Structure 1
Amino acid sequence: MSRDEIILKLKAGLKESRFKHSLGVMETSIILARRYGADVKKAGIAGLIHDCARDIPAESQLKMVENFGILLDDIEKLEPALIHGPLGAAIARKNFGVDDEEILNAVRLHTTGDKNMTLLEKIIFLSDYIEPGRCFPGVEDLRVKAFKDLDEAMISAYDSTIKYVTERESLLHPRTVCARNFILLHKRREGKA
């Protein structure tokens, strides 16, 4: 399926605000991919489809997860906002014809992150965070940081996520902590932290 066909299908299936967000993530992903030498086409597609499951009601998401055979951990089952990543990857494969594992993994991990993320996975995670429609304290600094040092921007994004989740007394996914620690450990081993 071409990018234009994906755009039309997403426009029909997402709320207007989510569709605009997806376009913003696509554009930001392309810019970051150019900056860091990642595959621009993959970044654009992954950014565009990253939230393809986000507007599906929670009960329907759970049924779809079961139908796709996606195994959720206990935290994902209790925090419905985390389901749309893995479900989105399955929907991207089935409904949008995306079979590139690198793109699908970027979609799968865009909410929690994970240790040892690829360049594309980091770009999609950050683009979701800093696209032009995002407005929260610190986002401007994070946007600047994203173009200077991708890993430093990832750490700041994880810190912000951890603060946000804990202030709401929600469950924090261990992948987020592992992702943050992985980057910090790597930096310390290289003598950069």
Structure 2
Amino acid sequence: MERGNIAELRAKIKKSQDKKRYEHTLGVTYTAACLAMCYDIDTERAEIAGLLHDCAKCLSNDKKVSLCKKQSIEINMTEAKNPFLLHAKAGAYLAEHKYGVRDEDILNAVRYHTTGRPGMSMLEKIVFIADYIEPGRNHSARLPELRRLAFQDLDKALVEILRDTLRYLKGTGNEIDPMTQKTYDYYKK
């Protein structure tokens, strides 16, 4: 994908997502750009990653599984039981092969925006955090605190978001993707 084509990408994403998902995508894009400015990261790359982070979310679970199998994208046990989680991996594939992204950092930001991973780049952290704190979210009582923290200390915000996510998943009896736990263990130090 050529730099400078954000408006074109935005139009393509709008056509591929339902209204609610597109509003979330715009919120993540806006938040990622704001965080990028705060931390002196290329805002255009942050916008592209934000626009693409959920580009596979509206695919059916069967299509996500089929795409991953066809492209030899690893599906772990948690993803096999909860195929909606594959939207990040499938999204990274679509970002590269459908939308023409060649920037590995943007692709990784899409790929790891739900679980994180040890050794994340600044852009990966920004998209992960933006997905959690974007203006349309209201799922955590701690959101105001986490939003402030994100603009003060990205790594602390990352740890707190991972902690909240793990606490929520454990509390609701949902499975935890092993990568989410590994990411938390890596950054909590």
Distance 1:80 1:133 in 2: 24
In structure 1, the partner of 2:103 is 100
Structure 2 residue 8 is the aligned partner of structure 1 residue 5: yes
In structure 2, the partner of 1:154 is 158
Q: Which amino acid aligns with 2:109?
A: A
Structure 2 residue 130 is the aligned partner of structure 1 residue 133: no
Question: What runs of 5+ residues in structure 1 fail to find an aligned partner?
Answer: 186-193
Distance 2:53 2:90 in 1: 10
Q: CA deviation at 1:25?
A: 0.5
3-state SS, counterpart of residue 83 of structure 1 = helix
Aligned residues: 185
For 1:174-193, what aligned pairs fall within 5 Å after superposition? 174-185=178-189
Residue by residue, what CA displacement relative to the aligned partner does 1:98-125 show, whole Å, maximum 9, x if unpaired? 1110000000000001111111100000
For 1:53-92, what aligned pairs fall within 5 Å after superposition? 53-92=56-95
Question: What runs of 5+ residues in structure 2 fail to find an aligned partner?
Answer: none
3-state SS, counterpart of residue 73 of structure 2 = coil
3-state SS, counterpart of residue 114 of structure 1 = coil
Aligned residues with identical type, % of pairs: 38
Distance 2:145 2:82 in 1: 28
Distance 2:15 2:154 in 1: 33
Q: CA deviation at 1:184?
A: 2.1
Instruction: Give the conservation status (yes or no) of the 8 Å contact 1:82–1:112.
Output: no
Residue by residue, what CA displacement relative to the aligned partner does 1:96-155 show, whole Å, maximum 9, x if unpaired? 111110000000000001111111100000000000000122111110110111111111
Distance 2:42 2:72 in 1: 30
Instruction: With the length of structure 1 as denominator, give the TM-score of the two structures.
Output: 0.92
- Further displaced range: 61-70 or 124-133: 61-70
Distance 2:59 2:171 in 1: 26
Structure 2 residue 126 is the aligned partner of structure 1 residue 123: yes
The 1:12–1:18 alpha-carbon spacing in structure 2 relative to 1, beyond 3 Å, is same
Structure 2 residue 168 is the aligned partner of structure 1 residue 164: yes
Instruction: With the length of structure 2 as denominator, give the TM-score of the two structures.
Output: 0.94
Deviating beyond 6 angstroms after TM superposition, the runs of 4 or more aligned structure 1 residues are: none
Distance 1:74 1:84 in 2: 15
The structure with the largest helix share of the pair is 1
Distance 2:146 2:178 in 1: 23
Distance 1:53 1:29 in 2: 19
Say which of 100, 103, 109 aligns to 2:112. 109
